[in-house]
Amino acid sequence: MTIPTYHLFVGVDVAAATASVAIATTADAIQPAWSIQQDTQGWHQLQTRLLQTAVPAAHILVVMEATGTYWMQLALHLHQAGFAVSVINPLQAKRFAQALLKRRKTDALDAQLLAQLAATLKPAPWSPPPAVYDELLQRLQERDQLLETIHQNRNRLHALRQRPQIVKPVQQRMERHILFMEKQIALIDAEIRSAMSQDADWAAAAKLLLSIAGIGFITAAWILTATVNFAYSQTAEQVVAYAGLAPQPFDSGSSIHRPATLGHAGHPRLRTALYMATLSAAQHNPIIKSFYSRLRQAGKPNKVARCAAARKLLCIAFAVVSKHQPFDPDFHSKPCFSA
């Protein structure tokens, strides 16, 4: 893999209303930070100031953290202007600061740290996902929120019905509210199906995923959205690690030997979607059913067996999409991962 040539490194610490910016020519030559407004005018001012250095935009690497949603518009603006933009995991910046034994923390210092990180590590550039990504993600998130609210309201309604005296208008409003949200979910489901069909590549991938017994269209939508249609995963191992379904060993010396565990890293919503999909796959998908049963018969706890089944289900999902072939339950090959 060829590393692009950069002549200027920029760190941007983004907040809601402002952003702190620092420039570096090398990891040891970092200029004082300055502040810009988080709006179109501020972004244009930043763009102008960077281009005044006489370094072409393509040779300027801008690094920022993926914190909340505040970074998104600025990253897109700079990307469209031709700059190389890298959006990193905040944990990477934290670990970089710890490695340098830095304890002080201000917006200006964080911007300088990101500029130093850019010059030292040269993280891979970011590119915006296709339009279908946001079309699906925002609807899937709204759907989750509605389901949670329905669950809360059903619990409240259940508690209300236990009272010796029920005020009917209160009960009726709660029932109407639940019914309204259920109708909204049905509407969102239709919109998700429609949005998924509007992008040819994502529609083809969704069709392949739906050929896998145990994966429904909501699970397929979460797989495609969370992985951006597997755009950044070259192997099954990579996508499994991204989902947080790869057991992490913990051994050191002769005294520390802990069982490998999943931990809390990875994409939690993708992991949940796959875990829940195993409830159906363990009954109707012959490969997952056999795999899950073998683990249970070997004495594995139910949760461990389900996580392993979720991992294997994701392997199958990656295989059918990357090979452009529908699921074949009679295809026998070496498993992606051992139990």
**Can you give the pLDDT at residue 67?**
87
Contact call for residues 153 and 178 (beta carbons, < 8 A): yes
Q: pLDDT tens for residues 260-291?
A: 666 677 899 999 999 999 999 999 999 999 99
Characterize the bridge pairing of strands 34-37 and 84-88. unpaired
Domain ranges of the chain: 8-121, 131-198, 217-323
- Candidate CATH numbers 3.30.420.40, 3.40.50.300, 3.50.40.10, 3.40.718.10; the one for domain 8-121: 3.30.420.40
Alpha helices in 198-301 (DSSP H): 200-210, 217-227, 236-243, 268-284, 286-297
Low-confidence ranges of the chain (pLDDT < 70): 1-3, 248-263, 331-339
Q: Are 65 and 88 in contact (CB under 8 A)?
A: yes
To which H or E segment does residue 18 belong? strand 18-26
Dist. CA 297–CA 21, nearest whole Å? 58
Tens digit of each residue's pLDDT (9 = 90 or more) over 227-265? 999 998 899 999 999 999 987 666 666 666 666 666 677
